[in-house]
Structure 1
């Protein structure tokens, strides 16, 4: 079975992380300040970790 966007294998659901990223850009109106860029980078790393954790290695 393939992973879903709501996979919780690595902590928070991917959909929650994605929602946080979208909210960050919505609040910033598309232009991030330095502190928001740091938060965005952290969210992207969290998202990438969750994606890696949801991948099933082929036999």
Structure 2
């Protein structure tokens, strides 16, 4: 699994992104460096986008 989030318009599901977020927290033991914090923030934005897209598709 790549440590970098996919670019905007990614086809990854919210579940896939959530799994990467969980892996990041496990890998770091819950203590994020500045670089890991940036990665986490990007993943959360990607996750929110994926959730929104899934809701729109379901409607």
Is the shorter-chain TM-score for this pair beyond 0.5, marking a shared fold? yes
- 3-state secondary structure, aligned to 2:30: coil
> Any runs of at least 4 consecutive aligned residues in structure 1 with deviations exceeding 3 A, and if so which?
none
Residue in 2 aligned with 1:52? 52
For residues 29 and 50 of structure 1, what CA distance do their matches in structure 2 show?
26
Unmatched runs of 5 consecutive residues or more in structure 1: 1-9
TM-score (norm 2): 0.73
How far did residue 55 of structure 1 move? 1.6
How many pairs were matched up?
49
Residue in 1 aligned with 2:12? 12
Q: Flag the structure with higher helix content.
A: 2
For residues 25 and 16 of structure 1, what CA distance do their matches in structure 2 show?
15
Q: Look at both structures and tell me which one has the larger radius of gyration over its CA atoms.
A: 1
For residues 22 and 54 of structure 1, what CA distance do their matches in structure 2 show?
20
TM-score (norm 1): 0.73
For residues 18 and 51 of structure 1, what CA distance do their matches in structure 2 show?
10
Residue in 2 aligned with 1:28? 28
